[in-house]
Each structure stands twice: as structure tokens, then as C-alpha cells.
Structure 1
Amino acid sequence: MQEAVEPLLRLVLDPGDTFVTRRTAEGLLRRKDRVGLTMVASALAVANDNHADWIHTAIVDVFRISSDDLDEALRLCEEMSGDTDDRVTRGARRLHESLAEIDPVLRPS
């Protein structure tokens, strides 16, 4: 829902509580879809170093298990890097960089 975008971004970038940052980012990423990834990418585009670190922790927590989920997230980030919104484009690149560093536990046999 469009009306949820700004409140969710404010939660991801909560200036007073990085626990809120981490948990909100984690919840959005656990959707494992373009909507959740776009929200996190938008936040990453403007996040300060402290918030970016907590968002990165959420990224690793969500995508470190399954290579299938990680591969799909990487694919979606590549799509988002061509978005018309510069904030999404910049954030998708940062998100892709974080995802690319992950070595998942489960891989197809």
C-alpha cells in the first residue's frame, strides 16, 4: 500500500532506536519480494553509516540460509538498479553489494 511507504521508511531509518531499524528491515526483507527489497533499498540509499550497518545485519540474517532466496534477491536488485527513481537505483546497488558478499549455507545439490 502506497500510504505505508513513508511510515515504513521512517521506521527503517529510526533516529532513536537501531533495534527498530534492524527489525523493520528484517521484516521487509523476509517478504523476499520486490516490494520489501525496494523499501530496504530506498532506505539504504539515504542511510547513515550506523543505520546501513544494522540494515546490512538484517540482510545477512535473512539471506544467509538459502542460495535460491539469495539468487532471487540478487536478480530483483539487478532489475531495480534500472528503476526510474534515483533513490531506488542507488539503494539497489548498495543492497546488491551486500547480498553479493553472502555465502549461503544451503545450496542445491
Structure 2
Amino acid sequence: MTEKTNGLEAALAQASSPSWTQRARAGRDLASFAGISEAAEALVDLLLDVEDTAVTRQTAEALTRVGSVPAIRLVALALAQADDHRADWLQTGVHDAIVGPGGAPDVAAACEKLAQDPEEAVRRGAADILAWADGPSF
């Protein structure tokens, strides 16, 4: 087993931890694996974490920092399923990544690609994320 595979397995195990800090760490660690279906499923669950909004915020920030189409797609999917409260924390996580050190320069390009996604929920979520990235709050 490679080191990368071990990291994926460890992060997947942490994603279901009762500890919010371990779940938040799992979100950060899994972000680079957004294109792998097992990780993607766990990441959407972490983005919609019902127990702690810090998990939502930190996972959204990590995925936004990755900035790939698969990573931003997961944030868009979660946004489509989120209630207003959770959506606010998703937006905060995206904001943290964009204004933080190094920013998240690939977000707009990823959102533009996702505007062509076959899933309407993804297209809507990507449009919202693009608006956040271009909006006055950033």
C-alpha cells in the first residue's frame, strides 16, 4: 500500500469520528482526493456535517483551496442540499480560502466548467459559488 493510499484510508476512517476536530481534519486531508468516489462521498457528508459547523467550514475551505473541478463540484453539490444555516458556513469556508494566503485562483475557472455539468443542482451551486467569488464580500 502506498503512502497516498494510507493517507486516504486514514482520512476516511477519521471522517466518521465522533470528534469534530478529527472530522474537520478528515475534510482537510480528503480534499486532495476529491476525484475519488469514496472520498467524494465522505467529503459531501463532511460539508453537510450535522453536528458541527466548523467541520462544514474547514472542509469547504480545503476543497476551495484545492480548486479543482471535482473539489468545487462537491461544494456545489453540498450547497444544493444545504439549509440556509449550513449554506452560510459553506460560503464562509469558500470566503476563507479565497481571501486567505495564496487565495484560490482556480475557483472561477472550475465554476465556469461546472456551468455545463449535467446535474442541475451542481450548475446552481457552481453559479452561487462563482457569485461569492466575484461578489463584494470578497
TM-score of Structure 1 vs Structure 2, range by shorter chain = 0.7 to 0.9
CA contact (8 A) 1:60 1:102 kept: no
Q: Indicate whether 1:50 and 2:85 are aligned.
A: yes
- Correspondence for 2:134: 100
Structure 1 residue identity aligned to 2:42: P
Structure 1 residue identity aligned to 2:97: V
TM-score of the pair, normalised by structure 1:
0.82
1:86 pairs, out of 120, 125, 136, with 120
Q: Indicate whether 1:12 and 2:47 are aligned.
A: yes
- SS of residue paired to 1:30: helix
What is the Cα-based RMSD across aligned positions, in Å? 2.1
Superposed displacement of residue 68, structure 1: 7.8
CA contact (8 A) 1:77 1:93 kept: yes
Gaps of 5+ in 1: 105-109
Size of the alignment, in residue pairs?
103
Q: Which has the higher contact order (CA 8 A, sep 6+)?
A: 1
Q: Percent of pairs identical after alignment?
A: 35
CA contact (8 A) 2:65 2:104 kept: no
Q: Which runs of 4+ in 1 moved over 6 A?
A: none
- Correspondence for 2:74: 39
Q: Indicate whether 1:30 and 2:65 are aligned.
A: yes
Gaps of 5+ in 2: 1-35
TM-score of the pair, normalised by structure 2:
0.66
